[in-house]
Amino acid sequence: MTQLACFDDTSAFEGLDRAAFTFSHQLLDHPALNLSNLGRAIPALPKEQVFYSSGALEKTDDFDRAHLDKKNGLSIEETIERIRVSNSYIMVRSPEDDASFKDLYQALIADVTELMRRRGVGDVPLDPMLYLFIASPNSVTPFHVDRYSTFLMQFRGKKTVTIFPMFDERVLPASEMEAFMSHDGRTTYRPESEALATPFDFAPGQAVHIPFMAGHHVKNGSDDVSVSMSIIFNTAQTRAMSKAMMLNHSLRKRGLSPTPVGQSGWRDLGKSLVFRSMSRVRRAIGRSS
Ligand SMILES: [Fe+2]
């Protein structure tokens, strides 16, 4: 077994994409994550990688539109400078494009690769990407699901990440998840499913695993600015599930009622292969017409 560089090793990693769990990380003192480096690096990134909004969001807000619907009226430089008091939320996609994050990114990919191999879900993380989150005290990240597996690491401040069970129709009906996966619909928070979720309180040096497509919302602590970073990725298994969900979506549109994904591994794999060959046929037809 290869040693992990960024994460403290734990048997909890066997739960990758099976259940949410917390663990510890070793990146607390990495210079890329201090506020002065963030204040330099973030404004230098391409604008389309930096999303920021008012931190005064509700669990029910549309997370994908918050940076458009809930602007804070400040520039990104002012937002970072005044983050303690500006009641804002900053999300940065692919900070690894800045040189200060490069070694961190490579080390995290190496750890994720090792954990995937141990679980037998592929040899290499698919589309791995870092995301940075900087938030004023008390800010809320609304309920949402990600089309990825996530390891979220805390660097400053405290937060509570509340994670819902995966593939539970009381949280999200299968048809809604399939439409979301197909970029043909959004997911809706159902307050009555809150009792099914598990809240994880975590502090600097700690991390949490959010399984593929598990709904979650986040509330920052009241004492300090929160700085956290996630690495998101797909595995061979989650990629197969994504394709099976997209196939289900197109079957439902034709009036059929396919078995939801997540109940049978072999059926999901079969569907992913069908979806892949259908996409190839569609591409081939596209080329010849
Ligand atoms: Fe998320």
- Helix segments in the chain, DSSP class H: 35-44, 66-69, 76-81, 102-119, 174-181, 236-253, 265-288
pTM of the model: 0.88
pLDDT exceeds cutoff 90 at 159: yes
The pLDDT score that the predictor gives to residue 274 is: 76
Cα of 256 from ligand 1 centre, angstroms? 31
CA distance 69 to 89: 13
The predicted model gives 51-64 an average pLDDT of: 69
Compute the mean pLDDT over every residue in the chain, rounded to the nearest whole number. Answer: 89
- Distance from residue 69's CA to the centre of ligand 1 (Å): 19
Instruction: Give residue 287 CA to ligand 1 midpoint distance, Å.
Output: 37
Give the per-residue pLDDT at 287: 59
If pLDDT is split at 50, 70 and 90, which confidence band does 289 have? very low
| Contact by Cβ (8 Å): 20, 74 | no
Residue 37 has pLDDT above 50, yes or no: yes
How many Å apart are CA 7 and CA 112, to the nearest integer?
10
Q: Is the pLDDT of residue 175 over 70?
A: yes
CA of 6 to the centre of ligand 1 (A): 20
